[in-house]
Amino acid sequence: MLKISLHTAQKVIIFATLLAHVFYLFVFLLMGEEILVVTNVFSVAIYLFLIRLIYDSSENSKIIMVIFQLEILFHALVCILVLGLGYGFGLLFLASSLILFFTSFTYKFFNYIVVAMQIILSIACYVYLDGQPIKHFDGFKDLLFIFNLSMVCVFSVVISYLLESSNLFIFLDILEKKEIAENILNHDPLTGLLNRTSMQQILSKKELYKNKDFAIVMCDIDNFKKINDTYGHGAGDAVLKSLSGIFKSTFRDEDKVARFGGEEFLAVVLGIKKDAAVSIVERVRETLSKNIVEFEDIKINATMTFGVVAHDGTGEFSLEKMIKQADSLLYAGKRSGKNIVISADYDPKG
């Protein structure tokens, strides 16, 4: 089904009703009913004004529906008092009542007042006119009755469709907002990378690794404390943002990268053997080592050290042990001079 907003639904309703009043105007001209002709000229002018309001701002929705319902009430009442019953104009009260379903862009209490007025006026007109027409335009009477009946039926179908479409739109909007909320919940707000909690959820999905080649990568920004102490935490944040951008552009889409805590990051490289995984990490390291972060006229060259542990997809493994081994390799790299990638195969005994 086509997704449609309530604002678009309102446009459809107003345009359709405008066309109906143009038809009334043409018929009343043929009938020679001057009062009804003048009434419909006034009604057409109102709908042109409503269209202007619609396109001015979507915030005009509620006042538009107030004018719309009052116009239908006034128009139907005048037609009944001039022509009498039997022409089907009483059915228009029902069409107006259907707007109750769109309470999200109407004044709910006002709707109830209008519906109550319609019921009272319908009863009063029937009693006053004794259920009879005042004028006998037999051909036009049948034409107008069929048109009014058809219009109410079509209007009911349109309202039903618009209501279903609008509910779908609202539902999809809720899903979109839920997705945004989940994205915020699962990602680190500073870097935009996965956070520790979401990475741990990913690591718990054994189907990602079972019988497949993969590697765990632990990495840490070299001398990050010195950057913060020398230039301030704002500079540290700028470095984190810049490095995370390189992670996003250099690691593959299928790889998972998270800010694991402070200046420490964890990546899972999926579906490739050790040499290929190390090649990706080495490319990340080289890009980072050439990267210059500019912060308040300061240029910072921040490097990283990496520990990589690979598993060939055969035999059992422990992710906790792999992360611990990758972390040990990372700190071995720190002791070896930093800005380096150190790799090893997974050791089940480690």
Could you tell me the domains of the chain? 6-181 (no CATH), 196-345 (3.30.70.270)
Instruction: Provide mean pLDDT across the span 265-290.
Output: 91
Distances (CA, A) of 117 to 73, 103, 149, 232, 327: 9, 18, 21, 69, 76
- Report pLDDT digits (tens) over 68-114: 888 888 998 899 988 988 888 888 877 777 766 655 556 677 777 87
Pairing verdict, β 293-295 and 264-270: unpaired
- Mean pLDDT over 145-160 rounds to 82
Confidence class for position 1, pLDDT limits 50, 70, 90:
very low
Over residues 317-332, the mean pLDDT reads 90
Give 166-193 pLDDT, tens digit per residue: 665 555 566 667 666 677 778 888 888 8
Write b or e for each residue in 33-72: b if 16 or more Cβ atoms lie within 10 A of its Cβ, otherwise e. Answer: beebbebbeebbebbeebeeebeeeeebbeebbebbbebb
Residue 287: the pLDDT is 92
Determine which of 39-53, 153-167, 190-204, 277-291 has the lowest per-residue pLDDT on average: 153-167
Q: Which of 21-25, 63-67, 321-325 has the lowest mean pLDDT?
A: 63-67
To the question of pTM greater than 0.75 for the whole model, the response is no
Assign 165 a pLDDT band (cuts: 50, 70, 90).
low
Mean pLDDT of 43-68: 87
Q: Is the pLDDT of residue 43 over 60?
A: yes
- The β-bridge partners of 194 are 187, 258
Handedness of CA 150, 154, 155, 156 (dihedral sign): positive
Q: Which residues contact 129 (CB under 8 A, 6 or more apart)?
A: 80, 84, 85
